[in-house]
Chains A and B, each alone.
Chain A
Amino acid sequence: MAGRGKLIAVIGDEDTVTGFLLGGIGELNKNRHPNFLVVEKDTTINEIEDTFRSLGSLLGSVVEAKPNEHDPPLDETDSRQFLHRDDIGIILINQYIAEMVRHALDAHQHSIPAVLEIPSKEHPYDAAKDSILRRARGMFTAEDLR
Chain B
Amino acid sequence: MSGKDRIEIFPSRMAQTIMKARLKGAQTGRNLLKKKSDALTLRFRQILKKIIETKMLMGKVMREAAFSLAEAKFTAGDFSTTVIQNVNKAQVKIRAKKDNVAGVTLPVFEHYHEGTDSYELTGLARGGEQLAKLKRNYAKAVELLVELASLQTSFVTLDEAIKITNRRVNAIEHVIIPRIERTLAYIITELDEREREEFYRLKKIQEKKKILKEKSEKDLEHRRAAGELLEPANLLAEEKDEDLLFE
Residues of chain A at the chain B interface (Cβ within 8 Å):
1-8, 14-15, 17-28, 34-36, 38, 59, 89-90, 92, 109, 111-112, 114-116, 118-121, 124-125, 127, 130, 132-133, 135-136, 139-140, 143-144, 146
The total of Cβ contacts below 8 Å across the A-B interface reads 163
Residues A22 and B96 in contact, CB atoms below 8 Å apart: no
Contact check, B157 vs A125: say whether CB atoms are below 8 A apart: no
Of the listed stretches B4-12, B48-56, B190-198, B229-237, chain A binds: B48-56
Which residues of B are at the interface with A, using a C-beta cutoff of 8 A?
Answer: 45, 48-49, 51-52, 55-56, 58-59, 62-63, 65-66, 69-70, 79-80, 83-84, 87-98, 107, 109-110, 112-114, 117-119, 122, 131, 134-135, 137-139, 141-142, 145-146, 148-150, 152-153, 155-157, 159
B148 to chain A, nearest CB (A): 6
Select which of B58, B63, B135, B153 is within 8 A of A114 by beta carbon: B153
Is A116's CB under 8 angstroms from B95's CB?
no
In the complex, A22 Cα to B159 Cα: how many Å? Answer: 35
Choice from B109, B119, B145, B152 contacting A132 with Cβ under 8 Å: B152
Instruction: Say whether B138 contacts A23, CB under 8 Å.
Output: yes
Give the top 7 A-B pairs by smallest Cβ distance, nearest first. Answer: A23-B138, A5-B93, A24-B91, A125-B59, A27-B90, A26-B87, A114-B149
Are the CB atoms of A121 and B94 closer together than 8 Å?
no
16 sample A-B contacts, Cβ–Cβ < 8 Å, listed by A number: A2-B95, A8-B146, A20-B138, A23-B92, A23-B139, A25-B90, A28-B87, A34-B87, A35-B90, A59-B84, A111-B157, A112-B96, A120-B66, A125-B62, A127-B55, A130-B55
- A35–B142 CA distance with the chains assembled, in angstroms: 15
A18 touches B96 (CB 8 A): no
For B48, list chain A residues within 8 Å (CB): 136, 139-140, 143
Please, which residues of chain A bring their CB within 8 A of the CB of B51? 132-133
Contact present for B96 and A6 (CB under 8 Å): yes
Bound complex: CA of A18 vs CA of B86, how far in Å? 11
Q: Which of A3, A35, A146 contacts B52 (CB 8 A)?
A: A146
Given contact pairs A8-B146, A143-B52, A19 touches B134 in the complex (Cβ within 8 A): yes
B142 touches A8 (CB 8 A): yes
